[in-house]
Every structure is written in C-alpha cells, then in structure tokens.
Amino acid sequence: MNNCKSFKPSIDNNSKILILGSMPGIKSLEEQQYYAHPQNRFWKVMASICNEPKLHELDYNLKLKTLLKNNIALWDTIKSCKRDGSLDSDIQNEFPNDIKKLLKKYHNIKTICLNGNKSYSAFKKYFPDLLDKYTCYKMPSTSPANARYNLDKLIEEWNIIYNSQE
C-alpha cells in the first residue's frame, strides 16, 4: 500500500469555480502535476471549456494559469490516503483536505465541481453542509477508467462550468 498525498490547490482571489478531484493517480504523483496521465481527458475537456484548443499541449504551469485566467481553481477532496495503483476504488484510510478553510479564504468560489464518484462521495461524507451552501455538481470522471464517456460526451457534461459563469 502506497501513501498518497494531494498537491497544494491552484487557486487565486478571482477563482469562482473549484474543481475537486479525489486523489492524483500514480503518474500525476510521479510528475507532481494534476491530471498528468496522457489518457486522462481533463486537460482536453478544459481546453474546450476555456476556449483554448491547445491547452492540453501546454507546459503544466501555463495550463494552471489558463484555468486561473478562466476563474477555475483546482484541488482534491482527499488530502492523504493509502492506495495501490491509481483506481479510486482502491483508496483506503482517506483523510480530507480542509476545504472549508480554503472556501473561507477564497470568497468568490460559488460553484464546486466534483470530478468523479469518489470525489463526490468523499465531499458528501466530510462536507455535507457545503452541498447546500454552494452550487455543487457531481461530474463524470475524466479518468481513462471511465470508458462510458467519450471525449465529446465529457465536454457536453462539463459545459456546466461554462454555463455557471454566466
């Protein structure tokens, strides 16, 4: 069982939307980058949302800056856990990030998007009161393990982000 630790949030005072994953997978932990696995569709989905067609090809820091420019923050629901592999279903001994503290500091966040079932279930378990306080969306996972959704369908579902900023 590997000890896994989440990254620091990518957020600024202009952020209006917080996207929460569950816990970075092996490739992301190795690279110290959110959604680093080449088959994860997150950055391609965000390319469409942010109207930046080549976003997924940019340097990691430029990817994060592009999200921030579009008022989108990024973090994980889980701060630490034990897990072999990258599957959310293998997460054990989870401990949540202090999302309440983050939201107190960044008052402009109005919408929370939970990337996948595990992120949503952990959020619901540790922060049930926030489900009523914020506009929260359980989003289909961008992970390659979520084969039910092709890229076009993911983009269609994730467009709620674009619509929530209007």
**Which CATH number does 2-164 carry?**
3.40.470.10
8 Å CB contact between 32 and 7: yes
Question: Can you give the pLDDT at residue 27?
Answer: 83
Question: Can you give the pLDDT at residue 91?
Answer: 66
- Whether the pLDDT of residue 1 is over 70: the answer is no
Q: Band of the pLDDT at 165, cuts 50, 70, 90?
A: low
Average pLDDT, the chain: 89
Cβ neighbours of 80 (radius 10 Å): 15
pLDDT in tens, 69-79: 999 999 999 99
- Of residues 3, 13, 14, 40, which has the active-site annotation? 40
Question: Can you give the pLDDT at residue 162?
Answer: 67
Give catalytic status of residue 40 as yes or no. Answer: yes
Strands 111-115, 92-96: pairing kind: unpaired
Q: Give the pLDDT mean for 52-76.
A: 94
Cβ neighbours of 96 (radius 10 Å): 18
- Whether the pLDDT of residue 109 is over 90: the answer is yes
Identity of the amino acid at 103: L
- pTM equals 0.93
Tokens at residue 30, please? 């190795």
Q: State how far the Cα of 13 lies from the Cα of 32, in Å rounded to an integer.
A: 23
54-68, 86-100, 141-155: range with lowest mean pLDDT: 86-100
